[in-house]
A and B are shown apart, each in its own frame.
Chain A
Amino acid sequence: MKTEYATIVHQALKESGINFVAYLPDDQIHDAQKLVVEDPSFTTVAVTNEGEGVAACAGAWLGGGKPALIIADSGLLVATWPLASLTVSYGIPILVLIAHRGEVGDRANWRFITYKFTTEPLLQTLQIPYVTARKPEETKEAITGAQLSAALWQHPVAVLLSGEILRD
Chain B
Amino acid sequence: MTRYDCLKILAPLLKDEDLVVTALGWVAGEWHSLRPKESNLYQINMGMCTPLSLGLSLVLPRRRVVALESDGSVLLYLGSLATLANKKPKNLFVVVFDNQCYLATGGLPTATAGVTDLAAMAKAAGIVHAFETKTLAEFEEQARAALGREGPTYIVAKVEAAGKRMSTDMDGKESKYRFVRYIEKSEGIKIIGTHAMRRD
Contact A59 B77 (CB under 8 A): no
A7 to chain B, nearest CB (A): 21
Contact A64 B47 (CB under 8 A): no
Contact A55 B48 (CB under 8 A): yes
Contact check: which of B47, B183, B193 meets A63 at CB < 8 Å?
B183
A47-B51 contact given A60-B58, A64-B60, A64-B191, CB 8 Å threshold: yes
Contact A62 B83 (CB under 8 A): no
User: What residue of chain A has the Cβ atom nearest to residue B179's Cβ?
Assistant: A62
B67 to chain A, nearest CB (A): 10
CA distance A112 to B47 in the complex (A): 29
Contact check: which of A51, A56, A89 meets B54 at CB < 8 Å?
A56
Interface size class of B (residues with CB under 8 A): 35 or more
Main secondary structure of the interface of A (DSSP, over half): helix
A59-B79 contact given A64-B60, A152-B193, CB 8 Å threshold: no
Contact A22 B176 (CB under 8 A): no
Interface size class of A (residues with CB under 8 A): 35 or more
Residues from chain A with a CB closer than 8 A to the CB of B41 are 62
Contact B176 A62 (CB under 8 A): yes
Contact A58 B52 (CB under 8 A): yes
A40 to chain B, nearest CB (A): 14
CA distance A144 to B198 in the complex (A): 12
B33 within 8 A of A: no
A151 to chain B, nearest CB (A): 6
Contact A86 B48 (CB under 8 A): yes
Contact check: which of B44, B83, B172, B191 meets A45 at CB < 8 Å?
B83
11 A-B residue pairs with CB within 8 Å? A51-B47, A55-B47, A59-B51, A59-B56, A62-B176, A63-B19, A64-B59, A64-B191, A85-B48, A90-B176, A91-B173
